[in-house]
Amino acid sequence: MSAIQDSKPILVVEDLNVHYDTGKGPAKAVNDVSFSLRPGERLGLIGESGSGKTTMATALMRLTRAPGRIAGGSVKLDGRDILKMSNKELRETRLRDIALIPQGAMSSLNPVMRLEEQMIDAIVAHKPGMRRAELDARVQELLKNVGLAPEVARRYPHELSGGMKQRAAMAIATSLAPKVIVADEPTSALDVVVQRQVMQTLGRLQDGLGAAVVLIGHDMGLIAQFADTVGVMYAGKLVEIGPVRQMIESPKHPYTRLLVDSLPGIEVKRELTGIPGLPPPLVDLPPGCSFNPRCPLAFERCVRETPLLQQVAPGQSAACHLYPEHAALPPLPPMTRAHQELRP
């Protein structure tokens, strides 16, 4: 952990904005998000559906497609801004320096090509001179790394199970030992047993490569187990980020608190609480803090002014007007009548 903190960041995201153009104006799916990542660091980004997680993952690799559009900011990988690269540079950077483990691994492989062809074409795109024998050896090595049998190379995607496809996607993503791996809900379509195996494989691969990982997901438990640092997204904004222990034991943002409280505990049995209400529509955000209509601690300033991310504890930042006036998050009041009515 300390080694991670000492080194220079490998990925620096500053004021990233991604908009979806709609008839009612831009939907701000990623809204002024900034964070940085050191080599070997594991950042987990968590948020509800529609909070901009996947949009962010695709924007990190500049894979944003119409009607989405990167509206501003920078994504500096080792000092070079991915958003400003030429198409050729971008192609060379993808996979070699920053790789994606896709969300829909089930459908992320070309159905009419054998797995080995899909692995080899990725390698050849970056290392055109490699001989067939070397490529074959590399394919076998990569498959072994993700726990797949050698004969899987000759199979077509429809001959693989969901977990195998996810592993195959990981084998492709790590084939050039990238510095940053963006894993977009890599376990979303898998059952819990396979989820665990896949996450272990991802952790092992990452340790071997020394790569930084951005893990995107909505499962707080899964992310807490894997990540060193956790970032919480709400309505396109990063509302809190900090070391995983601190985030769970003493969250500073009311939204993070509510998320943590909604986790089932194993030792202490208690009534589970949800978060009343729904996230706001991204084209029509409430004034001030986007969370204010659902926040039990909201006060007059929250409606007036958008809070900026500020340091609230060592290594931990939150975008909330409670700070710096408060040292810690005040206890949440029992839900008011108004909040009860927000319950879906």
Partner 1 sequence: MSRELVRYLLTRFGQLLLIIFVAVSINFIIPRLLPGDPVQTALARLQATGGAQNVDIQAISAAYRAKYGLDAPLLEQYANYWLDLFRLDLGVSFANFPEKVSTMIGNALPWSVSLLAVATLIAFATGSLLGARLAWPTAGRGIKAFVPLMMILTSIPFYLLAIILIYFFAVVLKWFPPAGGVDTTRIMRLDWATTEDILRHAFLPCLAIILGNVGFWALGMRSQMVSVLGEDYITFAEAKGLHPRRIFVWYGMRNALLAQVTALALSLGSVVSGAVLVEVIFNYPGLGSLLYVAIRGQDYFVIQGVVLMLIVSLAVLLFLVDLIYPLLDPRIRR
SS3 (DSSP) at 175: coil
Q: The tokens of 58 are what? A: 């695709």
CA 225, CA 215: separation in Å to the nearest integer?
A: 11
Least distance (Å) between residue 125 CB and partner 1: 5
- Residue 104 or 281: the one with the smaller Cβ distance to partner 1 is 104
- Residue 104 or 315: the one with the smaller Cβ distance to partner 1 is 104
Least distance (Å) between residue 50 CB and partner 1: 19
Least distance (Å) between residue 231 CB and partner 1: 21
Least distance (Å) between residue 22 CB and partner 1: 18
Q: Which helix (H) or strand (E) holds 311?
A: strand 310-313
Least Cα distance to 279 among 291, 295, 288, 289 occurs for 291
State the binding string over 65-84 for partner 1 (x if CB under 8 A, else -). Answer: xx------------------
State whether the Cα torsion 60-47-72-64 is positive or negative. Answer: positive
Residue 12 makes contact with partner 1 by CB under 8 A: no
Phi-psi region of 2 (alpha: psi -120 to 50; beta: other; left: phi over 0): alpha
User: Which residues in the 146-165 window bind partner 1 by CB under 8 A?
Assistant: 156, 158
Least Cα distance to 252 among 191, 318, 308, 302 occurs for 318
Residue 179 makes contact with partner 1 by CB under 8 A: no
The site for partner 1, by CB under 8 A, has a size of 33
State the binding string over 41-60 for partner 1 (x if CB under 8 A, else -). Answer: -----------------x--
User: Which residues in the 87-146 window bind partner 1 by CB under 8 A?
Assistant: 90-96, 99-100, 102-104, 107-113, 121-122, 125-126
Among 59, 143, 172, 285, binds partner 1 (CB under 8 A): 172
- Residue 109 or 322: the one with the smaller Cβ distance to partner 1 is 109
Pairing of strands 11-22, 25-37: antiparallel
SS3 (DSSP) at 160: coil
Least distance (Å) between residue 140 CB and partner 1: 19
- Residue 90 or 283: the one with the smaller Cβ distance to partner 1 is 90
CA 61, CA 98: separation in Å to the nearest integer?
A: 7
Least distance (Å) between residue 296 CB and partner 1: 39
Question: Residue 201, class by beta-carbon neighbours within 10 Å (0-12 exposed, 13-18 middle, 19+ buried)?
Answer: buried
Residue 61 makes contact with partner 1 by CB under 8 A: yes
- Residue 182 or 247: the one with the smaller Cβ distance to partner 1 is 182
Least distance (Å) between residue 114 CB and partner 1: 8
- Residue 183 or 285: the one with the smaller Cβ distance to partner 1 is 183
- Residue 62 or 196: the one with the smaller Cβ distance to partner 1 is 62
Q: At what angle do helices 162-173 and 192-209 cross, to 10 degrees?
A: 10
Least distance (Å) between residue 118 CB and partner 1: 8
Q: The tokens of 53 are what? A: 């997680």
Asked whether 153 and 114 are in contact (CB, 8 A), the reply is: yes
Least distance (Å) between residue 126 CB and partner 1: 6
- What value, to the nearest 5°, has the Cα angle with vertex 94 and ends 194 and 152? 40
Please give, one letter per residue, the 3-state secondary structure of 56-97.
HHHHHCCCCCCCEEEEEEEEEECCEEHHHCCHHHHHHHECCC
Interaction site with partner 1 (CB under 8 A): 58, 61, 63, 65-66, 90-96, 99-100, 102-104, 107-113, 121-122, 125-126, 156, 158, 169, 172-173
